[in-house]
Amino acid sequence: MSKSAKLSRLLDLDVYKRVTGDDASMEREVYVAEINRPGFELAGFFKHSDFRRIILLGEKENAFIHEMSAESQLACFSKLVNDETPCIIIAKGYKAPDILKNIAIKRNFPIFETELPTGRVSITLQSHLDELLAPETLMHGVFLNIYGKGVIIRGDSGIGKSEIALELIKKGHQLIADDAIELFHISSSIRGRSPKVLKNLLEIRGIGVIDVSKMFGAGSVLDSDIVEMIIQLERWLPSREYQRIGLEEDENTEDILGIPIHKIVVPVTGGRSMAAIIEAAVMNMQLRSSGFDSSKEFINRILANIKSKQES
């Protein structure tokens, strides 16, 4: 089922003055996270129009409307004002044309006027719609900000995810979500946050639920962050081969809502400081992003050593 947002949730009536439509018209749903600047429609071309988009009239559109005949305005506005179109917003202090206003009143269609510049309205609405209508999913794990990177730690129940998260928080890193992570595809990235009922909470076996913000301070938590890395914790198996040098040609990734996220598998055994290992993994990812690869540097040293021995 498609996500939608009601106009009443999207538009602040202190900023957008409603000039037509009653309270019931504010319950119209917006299904498409795009804005329509109706240049072709004003010229009479409707063949490929998507009426599910909010219509925004700026300076150019209003100048064009001023040049249109009354008959052309009536024909155009009668098509734009329909059951699919969520609303029309007129920016930069312009007023709704009388013909448009009369059609909207008859059809209980919402028109809004604002003093905001057209570009500002477009950017603000687009950003808000991207957030409200973003594809989403739920993932189990712990989500933290480690050295400025959003990192999801996953693993089987009882493997120690929350205990590792607690150790990382004590080291100064920030908790975003524990147990359940709400993930949203916004623009070209994945943003994660905690469900409201679990916000700032961390469950530690044997202790129970603790409020991280109360125990470690407001700076120990974040509302949301971009997901940049997944660390999969697995119980160590002698029969399995794990990455040692890190020169595998194909980078391991996991697809979340169509976006590939860097992923590493870390074996868990007694005696390993998992918090320190995770910190090292994140720092290593940062070094690779800046162009330095420790694994390739190691191989280059070996090759240089072999070459020097051959030459001696």
Residue 188, annotated as binding a ligand: no
Taking the alpha carbons of 67, 72, 77, 80 in that order, is the dihedral positive or negative?
negative
249 marked among binding-site residues: no
Whether 295 has a binding-site annotation, put simply, is no
The angle subtended at Cα 106 by Cα 103 and Cα 107, nearest 5°, is: 85
Q: Flag whether 273 is marked binding.
A: no
Let me know if 161 is a catalytic residue: yes
| Identified catalytic residue from 128, 179, 185, 293 | 179
Question: Catalytic pick from 161, 173, 178, 225?
Answer: 161
Continuous segment of H or E residues that includes residue 231: strand 224-235
Contact (CB, 8 A) for 168 and 279: yes
Q: Look up 255 and say whether it is catalytic.
A: no
Q: Is 160 annotated as a binding residue?
A: yes
Of 17, 60, 106, 140, the catalytic one is 140
Tell me if residue 12 is catalytic: no
Instruction: Tell whether residue 162 is among the known ligand binding residues.
Output: yes
CA nearest to 70, candidates 45, 115, 100, 37: 100
**C-alpha to C-alpha distance for 202 and 135, rounded to whole angstroms:** 26
291 is in an annotated binding site: no
Q: What is the C-alpha separation between 149 and 136, in angstroms, rounded? A: 20
Give dist(CA 82, CA 76) in Å, integer: 11
CA 94/CA 91 separation, integer angstroms: 6
Q: Is 208 annotated as a binding residue?
A: no
Catalytic residue list: 140, 161, 179
Report the binding-site residues for Mg(2+): 162, 203
Binding site feature residues: 155-162, 203
Q: Annotated binding site for ATP: which residue ranges? A: 155-162
